[in-house]
Structure formats: C-alpha cells, structure tokens
Amino acid sequence: MTTQTQTVPGARANEGFAAIALAAMLGLGLVFLAGFSPASALHNAAHDFRHTQNFPCH
C-alpha cells in the first residue's frame, strides 16, 4: 500500500516570502536599535562581546 501526498502549488513561494519578510523585520530592528541607542551602550555591548569571544581588547 502506498500513500500519496498532494502539494499545494505556490506553497514554496509563500515560505520564501515569509523568510524574506522575517529577515527584513529583524534587520530593520537591528538598524533602529543601533541607530537610536546611546554610543556608550553600543561600546559596552561590543566590549562585552569581545570578552565573551576571548578576544583581547585591553
């Protein structure tokens, strides 16, 4: 006995659009967070990230 599945035409296109929309939302969120945050907050975040990666910065 075999089972057959039917695919909906255009289902892959909808997945692609959803992925692009999600990437755009995340990207714009990062740009706006970085653009409106104080410079000292960005410096501290970058400094802490360097420490978590064991990269010497002092």
Count the residues in the chain: 58
d(CA 45, CA 8): 45
Residue percentage of the chain with pLDDT more than 70: 78
> What's the confidence (pLDDT) of residue 18?
92
Q: Whole-model pTM? A: 0.51
Q: Is 37 helix (H, G, I), strand (E, B) or coil?
A: coil
- Provide the phi-psi class of 46: left if phi over 0, else alpha when psi is between -120 and 50, else beta: alpha
Across 17-33, average pLDDT: 93
d(CA 58, CA 47): 10
Model confidence pLDDT, tens digit, residues 30-49:
888 888 889 898 888 888 88
In this prediction, residue 23 has a pLDDT band, given cuts at 50, 70 and 90, of very high
For residue 42 the two structure tokens come to 């960005």
Q: What is the mean pLDDT of the chain?
A: 83
For residue 9 the two structure tokens come to 């035409």
